[in-house]
Amino acid sequence: MGKDIKLLITTILVSVLLLTSSNAELNVKVIISVGEEIITNHDLDREINYLNVITVGQIKKIDVQESKKIAIDSLINDKIKIAALSNYDNIIINDEVLNNQIIKSSQNIGFRKIEDFITFLKFSEYELDEFKEKILLELKWNQLVYQFYKNQIVIDKEKIDKKLKILIAEQKKNVEYLVYEIFIEDAAIKELDKKNEEMSTEHNIVIEEQNGIIIETESASYNNKKKLIDSEKSIEKVIEVKIKDQITIDDLIKNIKEKGFENSAIQFSSSPSAQQGGRLGWVSESKLSQLLLKFIKKTKIGSITEPIPISGGILILKVENKRFEENKIDLEKKMKELIDIEKNRQLNNFSTNYFNQVKNNIKVKYFNE
């Protein structure tokens, strides 16, 4: 009797497992065949997740049918490459190359640290191993193309030399400014003109996108892409605004003239640089936004800028000095870069041509979902 009960229980468990497996299989359908490779509806869902990762969520913003079409085209391309690679088992990508490319790809997407990227993958419900497979496929494909066409790459040395001479001729001297700042935060300023505030609310986002970081320096209080207000339109509105200790902007400027910029910065500035008298040090033009650079350029050396409204308060800069640093080109390094660019350009052309050849020999069949 005991054996019969055990057999019955085993039979029931096996039946449940088979039924569960059968239901799972019913949910997975083949939607496309690419030669001997197949694409399922599950593959399509995973590809949409992948596209969501590499576009940092942008794929979700487009039409569902359009995103499916993009994902299907991407899957078909992958299957064509897999079919081509199936005949070449000798292509091996070592772990170091693979991991370096994963890091590089995550940086291209916008992540500084691989740990942040892995966290984003989990948030996007996409596995790191899946991402690795994608990268590995591209590396193998590129290696296959290189093996086929490396002897057909032609480097025109005269053309490269000509480009290098143009770069040398266009070499510009880098301009740097010795800058000091006084930053008065909104909390220390009495109520701004409300009309001006409304006018600038929408505009400041556009300015940030166009100009990015105001000054890129460790001691600046607005180093992390603070938003700018359209200063040229709003300076007149702000001149009479009072700041802490019941001092107006005019009185602050007067205080700067009488007691010096550094002393005024120590007394009134809300920036971490206040303890150094507002000194930001030498700042390259490339680290300045176009709007702020415009103010600095029209300010005489040793003088201060007009009050500049920025997100979070009012900024006054002192342009203490100016110097020119010559951009020295490493000719050997630049030559190698130009040659690599030319090689990659030719390899990309070879890759496209070879892919089309393979594609023309593979039958793609669509099934009704």
Could you give the residue ranges of the DSSP H alpha helices within 174-327? Answer: 194-211, 231-238, 249-259, 261-268, 290-297
- Whether 178 and 93 map to the same domain: the answer is no
Range of the domain at 184: 173-326
pLDDT confidence of residue 189: 52
* Residue 233 belongs to some domain of the structure: yes
pLDDT confidence of residue 241: 39
- Whether 263 and 127 map to the same domain: the answer is no
Confidence of residue 3 (pLDDT cuts 50, 70, 90): very low
Confidence of residue 132 (pLDDT cuts 50, 70, 90): very high
Average pLDDT, rounded, for the chain: 78
- Whether 320 and 213 map to the same domain: the answer is yes
Domain of residue 87, CATH code: 1.10.4030
* Residue 36 belongs to some domain of the structure: yes
- Whether 187 and 317 map to the same domain: the answer is yes
Domain of residue 306, CATH code: 3.10.50.40
Would you state the structure tokens that stand for residue 309, as one six-digit string? 């409204």
- Whether 130 and 37 map to the same domain: the answer is yes
* Residue 53 belongs to some domain of the structure: yes
pLDDT confidence of residue 170: 67
* Residue 242 belongs to some domain of the structure: yes
Q: Distance (Å, rounded) from C-alpha 124 to C-alpha 327?
A: 43
* Residue 166 belongs to some domain of the structure: no
- Whether 102 and 197 map to the same domain: the answer is no
* Residue 345 belongs to some domain of the structure: no
Q: Summarize pLDDT for 339-356 with one digit per residue, the tens.
A: 999 999 999 999 999 999
pLDDT of 214 > 70? The answer is no
- Whether 142 and 182 map to the same domain: the answer is no
Would you state the structure tokens that stand for residue 209, as one six-digit string? 């996108």
CA distance readout (Å), 176 to 81, 241, 307, 326:
50, 32, 21, 11
Three-state SS at 180: strand
* Residue 16 belongs to some domain of the structure: no
Question: What's the domain count of the chain?
Answer: 2
